[in-house]
């Protein structure tokens, strides 16, 4: 009979206990979990990348539904426990759900601390603790506006950077004189403040918030000195408090946290506690590494190993803000018996400080260059005598012993028990052993088997170096990510196999390549549809059901379910007749918004889906065709007026833009393609942040590519220079065709160029005239079937069902 284990809390600590437990004694316990959040277990330390938009919720899941099912765990989510009945040995949730236990784990975590000032309860004041908080911030950030973050610690700064990345104006208010004063010395704190200010985030230190202002919603804050700062959202990130109320009510010994011994048992031997709610040897922890160390001990105890003990953790901190490298560990307070070694390189923005006590490192702060963080941390934890290394210590491990070593040498020199992954406490030896014993060869396998780099991921590079050392040439660093969960193949492999095996339909691909699902998913189907369309332009019939809605109905879906319609204006040129037709359409169909786009076209926003065919018919009648503003295809060619009007213009840039657009419209590409042609280097059409740009000069045409002005802003690179307009068009078509043939679906041109390398592109498109011709020819063939106006087709009746409801009962009801 398995024993009954009940866990209160469904966070990272609890999840880790169960993982360790199932590994040690599978089936020994029948597990019931109560979680207050309505979700499965996710990686809370990755909330910041979710906020900044670098990751999604799916990316930070730790345990999916299948995991709970596989381990036969009863998961009560959204059910906070309100009582532990220690006599009857059962717990009771708010809704009355109860469960009996033999052993109980209290993993209630912590609660964000809210400063009790006037206005703290106003809507618009949020904490930064779980996905609901992130969701609230993202919703507010959609409207731009201003955000105030109270608290200049790790969490507050990550929140500030995330909100800034979402387009808000952000101010950080911090009570202390420098940021992150618990982890950083004032010098590093100053550099950090500068880095934030350089990103346009205002930082006010020594700022004490007096009140939060607003009637029905936050409008701003007032500081002690009377300053008022307006805000649409206020994030409180001033700290966390162990959540002990439940344990306390049950009569367990508590102080700041739930008191546990080295065996992680509370004052009731049948009840363990783990995570941020715990107080151990006088300390409460808010970082993940100690929680995982505790989890191991709880699991070992539950598995019957009574010698397992937790003896406390030394912690290191990293700031998870992209572009800011910061590492801190240990203690760097001033004291008589301590000595500092400091390295400042103002120009490079590098600051390193080691604090030594009796020739041992007791504190380390690294800013701007943190590669040696784990080495210093290792010396610190081991209390290694560094007197021999002292001369070159601050320069890091590469310099120890004289000449700089090659990059893997640093990792090669680490002892087997050196910690590589701080989050999960995985040492080098364990990784090497797992690779050798289990024959692992990819990063994801190593992650699955050892957990190394599976949490915050900042040690991914180190783990890869360990793999290189262990596997040598057998380890190819760039592990292939599968296209989606339906297959193990990556995009490149799928594309190669489609051509090699001449697969010409989606079912054929799925059948021949062993798809794991019956009809794919919303990720692979649009990709396969595109690949087939690109490779077999004359044979493959487009599958509308495998297209995103925008391409299925040839307009952009908006947040309210209406659509926007953009007619083509070749090269940005229009005339009174077209303008009149657009105005007439807007009036006739009550289109609420008419806007000029960044690509020099006119956008009609708020068109009802039923009206789309009629709107298109009217625009078609006036001679206009679809602008493909919805397409993973050629969008616009933006132009300036060139030599015809401009006193600086060197060539007919408008004419060239029109020619390119007329030649290339309708082509499908892996992601959207935007182009621009400028008549001179003044670049009025902003051609140098486009996928393809042309800068006209006196002697000809400079062709640029791989730029972007979207989520990432990238200037273009010069592909080549040509003398004639015809050659310019040939090169651009060949380049686009190469991108069409090599790009992964949804991969913008600049990402493709980064992946395959600019030189390889130049070799095919510029240097090898034969290859260029072939690419050009393939593009031309493809265009024969592509240049069909999708609007006209639908006006003529294609896909009519898309635009009509099947039935309408609203009028009948109104007549009742």
Partner 1 sequence: MSEWIDVGTVDDVPLLGSRVVQAPSGDIAVFKAADGTLFALRDRCPHKGGPLSQGIVHGHSVTCPLHNWVISLASGEAQGADQGCAHRIPLRIEGSRILLAASALMARAA
Rounded distance between C-alpha atoms, residue 545 and residue 553, angstroms: 11
Q: Is the dihedral of CA 302, 307, 313, 314 positive or negative?
A: negative
Is 557 a binding residue for partner 1 by CB under 8 A? The answer is yes
Rank residues 12 and 40 by Cβ distance to partner 1 and give the closer one.
40
Q: For 336, what's the count of Cα atoms within 13 Å in the CB-facing half-sphere?
A: 0
Rank residues 311 and 809 by Cβ distance to partner 1 and give the closer one.
809
Is 810 a binding residue for partner 1 by CB under 8 A? The answer is yes
Rank residues 138 and 471 by Cβ distance to partner 1 and give the closer one.
138
Neighbours of 401 (CB within 10 A): 12
Rounded distance between C-alpha atoms, residue 280 and residue 254, angstroms: 11
Rounded distance between C-alpha atoms, residue 256 and residue 616, angstroms: 67
Rank residues 65 and 767 by Cβ distance to partner 1 and give the closer one.
65
x/- mask, partner 1, residues 753-792, rule CB under 8 A, reads: ----------------------------------------
Q: What is the 3-state secondary structure (H, E, C) of 69-94?
A: HHCCCEEEECCCEEEEECCCCEEEEC
Is 517 a binding residue for partner 1 by CB under 8 A? The answer is yes
Rank residues 39 and 344 by Cβ distance to partner 1 and give the closer one.
39
What is the Cα 603 distance to its own chain's centre?
30
Residue 10 CB, shortest distance to partner 1, in Å, is 12
One residue of 15, 119, 286, 526 binding partner 1 per CB under 8 A = 526
Please choose, from the candidates 780, 735, 768, the residue with its C-alpha nearest in 3D space to the C-alpha of residue 753.
735
Is 64 a binding residue for partner 1 by CB under 8 A? The answer is yes
Is 521 a binding residue for partner 1 by CB under 8 A? The answer is yes
Binding range to partner 1, per CB under 8 A, among 415-423, 520-528, 586-594, 783-791: 520-528
H helix or E strand, kind and range, residue 713: strand 713-714
Q: Which residues of 573-590 are buried (b: 16+ CB within 10 A; e: fewer)?
A: ebeeebeebbeebbeebe
Rank residues 139 and 476 by Cβ distance to partner 1 and give the closer one.
139
* DSSP per-residue string spanning 562-605: -EEE-B--GGG---HHHHHHHHHHHHHTT--EEEE-TTS-EEEE
Residue 551 CB, shortest distance to partner 1, in Å, is 11
Rank residues 460 and 550 by Cβ distance to partner 1 and give the closer one.
550
Is 65 a binding residue for partner 1 by CB under 8 A? The answer is yes
Is 336 a binding residue for partner 1 by CB under 8 A? The answer is no
Is 546 a binding residue for partner 1 by CB under 8 A? The answer is yes
Is 44 a binding residue for partner 1 by CB under 8 A? The answer is no
Binding range to partner 1, per CB under 8 A, among 410-418, 543-551, 567-575, 691-699: 543-551
Binding range to partner 1, per CB under 8 A, among 192-200, 319-327, 546-554, 584-592: 546-554
Q: Is the dihedral of CA 333, 335, 337, 341 positive or negative?
A: positive
Residue 520 CB, shortest distance to partner 1, in Å, is 6
Residues in the interface with partner 1 (CB under 8 A) total 37
One residue of 518, 647, 698, 712 binding partner 1 per CB under 8 A = 518
Residue 451 CB, shortest distance to partner 1, in Å, is 20
Is 805 a binding residue for partner 1 by CB under 8 A? The answer is yes
One residue of 92, 117, 303, 549 binding partner 1 per CB under 8 A = 549
Rank residues 1 and 806 by Cβ distance to partner 1 and give the closer one.
806
Rank residues 379 and 555 by Cβ distance to partner 1 and give the closer one.
555
Residues in a beta bridge with 318: 327
Please choose, from the candidates 84, 112, 101, 85, the residue with its C-alpha nearest in 3D space to the C-alpha of residue 32.
101
Residue 713 CB, shortest distance to partner 1, in Å, is 24
Is 405 a binding residue for partner 1 by CB under 8 A? The answer is no
Are 641 and 678 in contact by the 8 Å Cβ rule? The answer is no
One residue of 116, 561, 576, 770 binding partner 1 per CB under 8 A = 561
One residue of 42, 68, 310, 668 binding partner 1 per CB under 8 A = 42
Is 548 a binding residue for partner 1 by CB under 8 A? The answer is yes
With vertex at residue 785, the alpha carbon angle to CA 779 and CA 789, rounded to the nearest 5 degrees, is 115
Residue 52 CB, shortest distance to partner 1, in Å, is 17
Are 765 and 775 in contact by the 8 Å Cβ rule? The answer is yes
Rank residues 596 and 814 by Cβ distance to partner 1 and give the closer one.
814
Rounded distance between C-alpha atoms, residue 87 and residue 64, angstroms: 34
One residue of 520, 627, 633, 693 binding partner 1 per CB under 8 A = 520
Binding range to partner 1, per CB under 8 A, among 187-195, 290-298, 329-337, 805-813: 805-813
Is 61 a binding residue for partner 1 by CB under 8 A? The answer is yes
Intra-chain end-to-end CA distance of the chain, in Å? 63
Q: For 469, what's the count of Cα atoms within 13 Å in the CB-facing half-sphere?
A: 21
Using alpha carbons, list the distances in angstroms from residue 618 to 171, 567, 587, 623.
Answer: 49, 11, 12, 9
Rounded distance between C-alpha atoms, residue 545 and residue 540, angstroms: 14
Helix runs in 237-325, H state only? 245-249, 288-302
Is 38 a binding residue for partner 1 by CB under 8 A? The answer is yes
Is 746 a binding residue for partner 1 by CB under 8 A? The answer is no
Using alpha carbons, list the distances in angstroms from residue 571 to 657, 685, 700, 785, 799.
Answer: 5, 11, 19, 22, 30
Binding range to partner 1, per CB under 8 A, among 37-45, 270-278, 333-341, 583-591: 37-45
DSSP assignment, residue 744?
Answer: P
Residue 815 CB, shortest distance to partner 1, in Å, is 11
Rank residues 347 and 811 by Cβ distance to partner 1 and give the closer one.
811
Rank residues 557 and 720 by Cβ distance to partner 1 and give the closer one.
557
**Backbone φ, ψ for residue 81 (5° rounding):** -80, 135
Binding range to partner 1, per CB under 8 A, among 61-69, 300-308, 415-423, 759-767: 61-69
Binding range to partner 1, per CB under 8 A, among 90-98, 218-226, 518-526, 592-600: 518-526
Is 556 a binding residue for partner 1 by CB under 8 A? The answer is no
Is 57 a binding residue for partner 1 by CB under 8 A? The answer is yes
Residue 559 CB, shortest distance to partner 1, in Å, is 7
Are 51 and 163 in contact by the 8 Å Cβ rule? The answer is yes
With vertex at residue 610, the alpha carbon angle to CA 543 and CA 634, rounded to the nearest 5 degrees, is 45
With vertex at residue 700, the alpha carbon angle to CA 697 and CA 705, rounded to the nearest 5 degrees, is 80
Is 39 a binding residue for partner 1 by CB under 8 A? The answer is yes
One residue of 40, 421, 454, 533 binding partner 1 per CB under 8 A = 40
Rounded distance between C-alpha atoms, residue 587 and residue 752, angstroms: 43
Binding range to partner 1, per CB under 8 A, among 56-64, 290-298, 305-313, 466-474: 56-64
Binding range to partner 1, per CB under 8 A, among 207-215, 361-369, 513-521, 737-745: 513-521
Is 522 a binding residue for partner 1 by CB under 8 A? The answer is yes
**Backbone φ, ψ for residue 180 (5° rounding):** 45, 45
Is 711 a binding residue for partner 1 by CB under 8 A? The answer is no
One residue of 16, 89, 320, 525 binding partner 1 per CB under 8 A = 525
Rounded distance between C-alpha atoms, residue 134 and residue 132, angstroms: 5
Rounded distance between C-alpha atoms, residue 296 and residue 282, angstroms: 20
Are 346 and 190 in contact by the 8 Å Cβ rule? The answer is no
Neighbours of 713 (CB within 10 A): 9
Q: For 799, what's the count of Cα atoms within 13 Å in the CB-facing half-sphere?
A: 21
Binding range to partner 1, per CB under 8 A, among 7-15, 35-43, 67-75, 435-443: 35-43
The residues that touch partner 1, with contacts defined as CB under 8 A, are 38-40, 42, 57-58, 61, 64-65, 517-522, 525-526, 545-550, 552-553, 557, 559, 561, 801, 805-810, 813-814
């Amino acid at each position: 009979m398995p024993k009954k284990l009940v866990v209160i809390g469904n966070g990272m600590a609890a999840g880790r206990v169960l993982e360790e437990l199932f590994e040690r004694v599978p089936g020994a316990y029948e597990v019931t979990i109560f979680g207050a959040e309505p979700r499965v277990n996710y990686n809370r330390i990755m909330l910041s990348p979710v906020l900044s938009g670098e990751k999604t919720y799916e990316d930070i899941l730790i345990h999916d539904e299948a995991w709970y099912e596989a381990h036969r765990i009863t998961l009560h989510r959204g059910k906070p426990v309100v009582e532990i009945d220690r006599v009857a040995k059962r717990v009771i949730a708010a809704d009355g759900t109860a469960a009996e236990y033999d052993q109980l784990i209290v993993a209630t975590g912590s609660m964000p601390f809210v400063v009790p000032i006037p206005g703290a309860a106003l809507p618009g004041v949020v904490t930064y603790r779980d996905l609901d908080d992130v969701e609230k911030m993202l919703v507010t950030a959609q409207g731009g506006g201003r955000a105030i973050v109270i608290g200049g610690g790790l969490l507050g700064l990550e929140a500030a950077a995330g909100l800034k990345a979402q387009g808000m104006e952000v101010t950080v208010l911090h009570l202390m004189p420098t940021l992150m004063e618990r982890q950083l010395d004032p010098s590093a704190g100053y550099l950090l403040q500068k880095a934030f200010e350089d990103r346009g985030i205002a930082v006010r230190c020594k700022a004490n918030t007096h009140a939060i202002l607003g009637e029905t919603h936050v409008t701003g804050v007032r500081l002690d000195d009377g300053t008022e700062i307006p805000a649409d959202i206020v994030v409180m990130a001033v700290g966390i408090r162990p959540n002990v109320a439940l344990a306390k009510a049950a009569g367990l010994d508590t102080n700041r946290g739930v008191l546990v011994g080295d065996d992680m048992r509370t004052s009731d031997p049948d009840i363990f506690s783990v995570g941020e709610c715990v107080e151990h040897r006088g300390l409460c922890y808010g970082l993940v590494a100690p929680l995982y160390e505790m989890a191991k001990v709880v699991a070992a105890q539950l598995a019957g190993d009574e010698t397992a003990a937790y003896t406390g953790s030394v912690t290191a901190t990293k700031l998870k803000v992209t572009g800011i490298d910061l590492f801190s560990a240990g203690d760097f307070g001033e004291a008589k018996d301590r000595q500092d070694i400091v390295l400042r390189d103002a120009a490079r923005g590098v600051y390193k400080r080691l604090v030594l006590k009796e020739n041992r490192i007791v504190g380390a702060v690294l800013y701007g260059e943190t590669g040696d963080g784990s080495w210093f941390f290792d010396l610190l934890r081991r209390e290694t005598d560094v007197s021999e290394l002292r001369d070159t210590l601050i320069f890091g491990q590469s310099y120890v012993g004289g000449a700089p070593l090659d990059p893997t040498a640093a990792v090669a020199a680490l002892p087997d028990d050196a910690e590589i992954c701080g989050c999960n406490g995985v040492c080098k030896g364990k990784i090497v052993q797992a690779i050798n014993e289990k024959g692992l060869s990819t990063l994801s396998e190593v992650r699955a088997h050892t957990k190394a780099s599976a949490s915050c991921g900042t040690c991914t590079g180190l783990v890869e170096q360990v793999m290189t050392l262990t596997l040598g040439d057998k380890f190819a660093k760039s592990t292939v990510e599968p296209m989606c969960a339906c297959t193990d193949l990556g995009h490149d492999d799928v594309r190669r196999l489609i051509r090699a095996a001449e697969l010409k339909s989606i079912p054929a691909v799925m059948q021949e390549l062993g798809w794991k699902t019956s009809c794919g998913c919303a990720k692979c189907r649009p990709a396969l549809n595109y690949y087939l369309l690109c490779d077999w332009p004359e044979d493959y019939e487009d599958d509308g059901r495998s297209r995103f809605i925008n391409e299925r109905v040839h307009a952009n879906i908006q947040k309210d379910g209406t659509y926007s319609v953009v007619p083509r204006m070749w090269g940005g040129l229009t005339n009174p007749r077209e303008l009149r037709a657009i105005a007439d359409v807007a009036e006739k169909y009550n289109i609420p918004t008419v806007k000029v786009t960044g690509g020099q076209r006119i956008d009609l926003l708020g068109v009802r889906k039923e009206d789309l065919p009629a709107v298109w018919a009217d625009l078609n009648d006036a001679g206009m065709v679809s602008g493909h503003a919805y397409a993973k295809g050629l969008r616009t060619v933006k132009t300036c007026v060139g030599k015809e009007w401009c006193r600086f213009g060197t060539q007919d840039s408008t004419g060239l833009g029109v020619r390119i657009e007329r030649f290339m419209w309708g082509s499908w590409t892996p992601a959207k393609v935007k182009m621009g042609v400028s008549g001179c280097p003044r670049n009025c059409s902003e051609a140098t942040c486009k996928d393809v740009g042309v800068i006209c000069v006196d002697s000809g045409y400079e062709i640029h590519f791989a730029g972007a002005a979207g989520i990432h802003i990238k200037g273009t690179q010069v592909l080549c220079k040509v003398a004639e307009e015809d050659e310019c068009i040939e090169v651009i078509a060949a380049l686009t065709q190469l991108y069409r043939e090599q790009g992964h679906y949804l991969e913008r041109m600049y990402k493709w160029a980064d992946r395959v390398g600019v030189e390889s592109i130049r070799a095919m498109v510029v240097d090898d005239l034969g290859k260029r011709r072939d690419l050009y020819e393939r593009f031309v063939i493809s265009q024969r079937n592509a240049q069909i106006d999708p609007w006209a087709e639908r006006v003529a009746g294609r896909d009519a069902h898309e635009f009509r409801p099947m039935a309408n009962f609203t009028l009948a009801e109104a007549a009742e």
